[in-house]
Chains A and B, each alone.
Chain A
Amino acid sequence: DSGVTQTPKHLITATGQRVTLRCSPRSGDLSVYWYQQSLDQGLQFLIQYYNGEERAKGNILERFSAQQFPDLHSELNLSSLELGDSALYFCASSASPAPRGNTEAFFGQGTRLTVV
């Protein structure tokens, strides 16, 4: 158990809908990262928050947004869903702003989103 909790584990929704994925980081970790893993692909970085503020942005679509709350949990909002958004969405947390060698990034078990 990494200590990072993601809910829900599975989500099935229709095209055009909006969903919210939730992540609770490890106790004490200030950084939260969101990654997308499409079928048979590596993980693609979407966005990072550090202590409530957006720190870095990767290949995140405009239809997607995220935030980190004062209690440090984070939510990833996906709207106007398309079939191609079906993927595993991972959240990771670390103590420092960057997942450097001395500060490991711990991953949750992911949320599998299926858009039908």
Chain B
Amino acid sequence: AQTVTQSQPEMSVQEAETVTLSCTYDTSESNYYLFWYKQPPSRQMILVIRQEAYKQQNATENRFSVNFQKAAKSFSLKISDSQLGDTAMYFCAFSDQTGANNLFFGTGTRLTVIP
């Protein structure tokens, strides 16, 4: 069974600084997708970034980048130049291609950006 673990329930970062959120997962699949979702106080789930397991290059979206270590089954999110609007819950999620057709989520990391 696929599991996703986020070991940091809460984190904080100073505005304009860089922060890294950790995520590990467990799967026996060889190809799969990994995601980071942001959930601000509005409750909306917003896709931040995605990574396909067969791609070795780490995904980047503006200030957001990932460090994907397939052998270690690690998928961390780095937020550079943190902004107040980055304050939210961040969820790591996993999706395989074997027909499960759904996202497995971690328990989330609550990030607070301090002005």
Q: Which residues of B contact A92 (CB under 8 A)?
A: 45
Smallest CB gap from B96: residue in A: A98
Judge whether B97 and A105 touch: CB under 8 Å.
no
Is the C-beta of A55 less than 8 angstroms from some C-beta in chain B?
yes
* Min CB gap B52→A, angstroms: 4
Q: Which residues of B contact A50 (CB under 8 A)?
A: 101
* Min CB gap B76→A, angstroms: 17
Cα A19 to Cα B50 with chains together (Å): 34
Is the C-beta of A25 less than 8 angstroms from some C-beta in chain B?
no
Cα A101 to Cα B97 with chains together (Å): 10
Cα A42 to Cα B101 with chains together (Å): 17
* Min CB gap B107→A, angstroms: 5
Is the C-beta of A97 less than 8 angstroms from some C-beta in chain B?
yes
Judge whether B103 and A99 touch: CB under 8 Å.
yes
Contact partner of B42 (CB less than 8 A), chosen from A56, A101, A109, is A109
Q: Which residues of A contact B (CB under 8 A)?
A: 2, 31, 33, 35, 40-45, 48, 50, 55-56, 58, 88, 90, 92, 97-101, 104-105, 107, 109-110, 112
Q: A33-B103, A42-B4 are in contact. List 11 more A-B contacts (CB 8 A).
A: A2-B44, A41-B107, A42-B106, A43-B93, A43-B105, A45-B103, A50-B101, A88-B43, A98-B101, A101-B51, A109-B42
